[in-house]
Amino acid sequence: MSTIKGSVSVNGHTSALEELATSTAHLTKVWPTPSQQLGERPLVWVNGSLLPKSQAMISVYDHGLLYGDGVFEGIRVYRRKIFKLKQHMERLYECARKIRMEIPISIEDMINVQRLCIEANNLDDGYIRLVVSRGAGTLGLDPRRCPVPGVICIADQISLYGKSFYENGMRVIVAKRPKPAREALDPRIKSLNYLNNIMAKCEAIDQGCDEAIMLSTDGFVTECTGDNIFIIKDGVVYTPPNSTGNSGSLEGITQRFVRDELIPMCGMKCVVKDMRIEEVLAADEVFLTGTAAEMIAVNQIDIDGKGHKLSDGEGPLTNKLRHKFRAIVTSDPIPED
Ligand code: PMP
């Protein structure tokens, strides 16, 4: 009888098994141990348990891992309040519904889990990642073989772009690879499968920057790999639609906040409309919004390897909006609606 890693006992063909185990033993050194790589903090909530980061694990049979089958949310915590909590919950449960997945806990419980993670990790300002995966099942796509969806809540920090980009703006590219057609994959579903966005981001990284504007298969401006996009022309702000017209993008909660609340608060007007990339290149100012990114200006757009300079730094109206944004999220009360 041979024992592999102390827990699995196998009868028969002992010597062949031992030989194979010995010949593959060195492979363990390829990976750092979870405690070396991850450490203990934050405490992470996984399927009902609050665990040290290095022990927070899910099954290798989880379809979230095997197929990217699941949905997620990224949420900001400002001064211990969960920014736009209600809207994030609505989007999460709606996305789950769209992929025919029933989240096994109520919205109220989901909110309490987040508050627990904030308290357990003493998080004043940070970021919450909620993941709802299809859950452990069999090897095969069939979601009916996954009896209970998994729920993960991570309350931690996030920083997408360098600090100086927030003051000076950042250079982005226009990705060659389009977003999948809206009919193929509803871009409003915030799914665990971000490969299209990751490959567009790799295009950006290959060209020495951090973000890419993604076009629809018909060449309309949609969004970036992790942010929505706005342009300003002659004092008016424009952003593409999410699911009407020719575009298609995530219904960004920051986009909605900026479009429907922040811009009017600053005495400006925001128009939702389809745009071609030429309009973006001809804009006075361009900025991106997202939960992780918050608000960030774009100062240059590269298309087909050719740079189009928009400005030397952050434009004045973007600056005004960004300061108002900061004022709201650092003041009392932080909106949880
Ligand atoms: N588009 C994509 C593709 C994203 O991943 C994100 C980030 N969640 C956004 C837009 C911005 O959405 P939100 O403001 O809700 O974070």
Adjacent-strand bridge partners of 215: 221
Residue 10 binned pLDDT confidence (cut-offs 50, 70, 90): low
Q: Are residues 178 and 232 in the same domain?
A: yes
pTM of the model: 0.95
Mean pLDDT of the chain: 95
Q: What is the CATH number of the domain that holds 94?
A: 3.30.470.10
Q: What is the reported pLDDT for 333?
A: 85
Report the residue among 291, 295, 296 best suited for mutation to probe ligand 1: largest number of ligand atoms under 8 A from its CB.
291
Among 4-13, 21-30, 214-223, which stretch is predicted with the lowest mean pLDDT? 4-13
Quickly count: other Cβ atoms within 10 Å of residue 22's Cβ.
9
pLDDT tops 50 at residue 4: yes
Q: How many domains does the chain have?
A: 2
C-beta of 254 in contact with ligand 1 (< 6 A): yes
CA–CA distance, 261 with 337 (Å, rounded to integer): 12
Q: Which two tokens stand for residue 204?
A: 């950006």
Q: Which two tokens stand for residue 196?
A: 């299209």
pLDDT tops 80 at residue 6: no
Pick the residue whose CA is nearest to atom 6 on ligand 1.
Answer: 226
Q: Are residues 136 and 284 in the same domain?
A: no
Q: What is the CATH number of the domain that holds 321?
A: 3.20.10.10
β pairing state of 269-272 and 236-239: parallel
| Residue labelled with tokens 């980009």 | 165
Q: Are residues 194 and 54 in the same domain?
A: no
Q: What is the reported pLDDT for 244?
A: 92
Residue 13 binned pLDDT confidence (cut-offs 50, 70, 90): low
Q: What is the reported pLDDT for 2?
A: 44
CB 228 within 8 A of CB 252: yes
C-beta of 223 in contact with ligand 1 (< 6 A): yes
C-beta of 252 in contact with ligand 1 (< 6 A): yes
**Ligand 1 centre from 236 Cα, in Å?**
23
Q: Are residues 168 and 273 in the same domain?
A: yes
Residue 7 lies in a domain: no
Q: What is the reported pLDDT for 163?
A: 87
Query: Which of 120, 138, 156 is at the close of a domain?
Result: 156
C-beta of 239 in contact with ligand 1 (< 6 A): no
Q: Are residues 124 and 85 in the same domain?
A: yes
Q: Which two tokens stand for residue 296?
A: 């960030």
Q: Are residues 67 and 113 in the same domain?
A: yes
Q: Are residues 151 and 186 in the same domain?
A: no
Residue 55 lies in a domain: yes
Residue 233 lies in a domain: yes
Residue 228 lies in a domain: yes
CA–CA distance, 251 with 256 (Å, rounded to integer): 8
Residue 256 lies in a domain: yes
pLDDT in tens, 292-311: 999 999 999 999 999 999 99
Q: Are residues 44 and 142 in the same domain?
A: yes
Q: What is the reported pLDDT for 11?
A: 59
Q: Are residues 147 and 195 in the same domain?
A: no
Query: What are φ and ψ of residue 143, in 5° steps?
Result: -70, -20
Report the residue among 91, 92, 190 best suited for mutation to probe ligand 1: largest number of ligand atoms under 8 A from its CB.
190
**Ligand 1 centre from 207 Cα, in Å?**
22
Pick the residue whose CA is nearest to atom 5 on ligand 1.
Answer: 226
Residue 130 lies in a domain: yes
Q: Are residues 133 and 193 in the same domain?
A: no
pLDDT in tens, 196-245: 999 999 999 999 999 999 999 999 999 999 999 999 999 999 999 999 99
Q: What is the reported pLDDT for 162?
A: 84
Q: Are residues 221 and 311 in the same domain?
A: yes
pLDDT tops 80 at residue 318: yes
pLDDT tops 70 at residue 337: yes
**Ligand 1 centre from 9 Cα, in Å?**
47
Structural domain containing residue 65: 40-156
pLDDT in tens, 138-194: 999 999 999 999 999 999 999 988 889 998 999 999 999 999 999 999 999 999 999
Residue 112 binned pLDDT confidence (cut-offs 50, 70, 90): very high
CB 166 within 8 A of CB 296: yes
Burial category of 64 from C-beta neighbours within 10 Å (exposed 0-12, middle 13-18, buried 19 and up): buried
pLDDT tops 80 at residue 78: yes
CB 296 within 8 A of CB 169: yes
Question: Checking phi first, is residue 165 left (phi over 0); if not, alpha (psi -120 to 50) or beta?
Answer: alpha
pLDDT tops 50 at residue 1: no
Calculate the CA 276 to chain-centre distance. 25
Residue 2 lies in a domain: no
Query: Which of 100, 130, 156 is at the close of a domain?
Result: 156
Residue 14 lies in a domain: no
Amino acid residing at 195: L
Q: Are residues 182 and 286 in the same domain?
A: yes
Query: Which of 115, 139, 156 is at the close of a domain?
Result: 156
CB 58 within 8 A of CB 65: yes
The 10 Å CB-count burial string (b at 16+, else e) for 198-228 is eebbebbeeeebbbbbbbbeeebbbbbbbbb
